Amino acid sequence: MSVAESGHEFIDVEVIVNGRTVRSRVRARQHLADFLRQELELTGTHLGCEHGVCGACTVLIDGRTARGCLTLAAQAHGKRIETVEGLSGQGAFARLQDAFIGLNAAQCGFCTSGMLLTAYELVSEKVPRTRNEIRDYLSGNMCRCTGYHAIIDAVASVLAEVAPA
């Protein structure tokens, strides 16, 4: 190779978002959460800190939780992305949503989508968990209403159904 190719400011991506194939041209600097919110108008993915601390922007990439703010839209090329919009109302995710509402775990709602996605990843393992283990797993998601007890109650109630101890 004589002269190595230099980079691009815009990148063509093909991403499967909530089961739908999306083709788009994104800016190199755009992170996945902004892509979902601004280009696809999927505003259920929230942005809090934008440096990976708060967990509000959590989405699933190929089935595993990831920070939407610490992943570039360009890196999502060829990946399956699931957001709160896509999972809403189905299976264990719906049970979590019901439990969050029933046990007052939503409060202001800002952290809720991220909490639900992280909880969904844990619940999907179908392994009985103690409250401390649930707390540990959710520790990367912050709730500024500080309603953590209710959130852990909600996740524990769903886990007790899907993975009885």
Partner 1 sequence: MKAPNITYIRPCSLTEACHILAEHDDEAVPLAGGQSLLAALNLRLAAPKLLVDIGELQELRDSSFGSGDIRLGALTRHHELLDSDEVRRALPLLPRAAAFIGHAGIRNRGTLGGSLAFADPAAELPACAVALGATISIAGPGGARELAAADFFTGLMETALRPGELIAAVRFPAATQGTRYVIDELSRRHGDFAVAGLVIAAPMDGKRVGEARIVYFGCVDRAQVARQVSTALSGRELTQSTVEAVIDAVGEDLAPDDTPGWRAETKLRLARTLTRRALAQLTGAAA
Residue ranges binding partner 1 (CB under 8 A) = 1, 3-9, 11, 27-29, 31, 34, 50-52, 55, 58, 61, 64-67, 69-72, 74-75, 77-78, 118, 121-122, 136-137, 139-141
In the complex with partner 1, the residue whose CB is nearer, 102 or 144, is 144
Residue 31: Cβ-neighbour burial (10 angstroms; 0-12, 13-18, 19+): buried
Cβ 148 to partner 1 shortest distance, Å: 13
Cβ 29 to partner 1 shortest distance, Å: 4
Distance CA 90, CA 87 (A): 6
- Angle subtended at Cα 69 by Cα 98 and Cα 7, rounded to the nearest 5 degrees: 145
In the complex with partner 1, the residue whose CB is nearer, 18 or 65, is 65
Nearest to 83 by CA among 14, 18, 15, 16: 18
| 154-164: b (≥16 Cβ within 10 Å) or e | bbbbbbeebee
Distance CA 99, CA 76 (A): 31
In the complex with partner 1, the residue whose CB is nearer, 104 or 130, is 130
In the complex with partner 1, the residue whose CB is nearer, 12 or 104, is 12
Cβ 127 to partner 1 shortest distance, Å: 12
Q: One-letter amino acid identity for 74?
A: A
In the complex with partner 1, the residue whose CB is nearer, 136 or 161, is 136
Cβ 91 to partner 1 shortest distance, Å: 20
Cβ 10 to partner 1 shortest distance, Å: 9
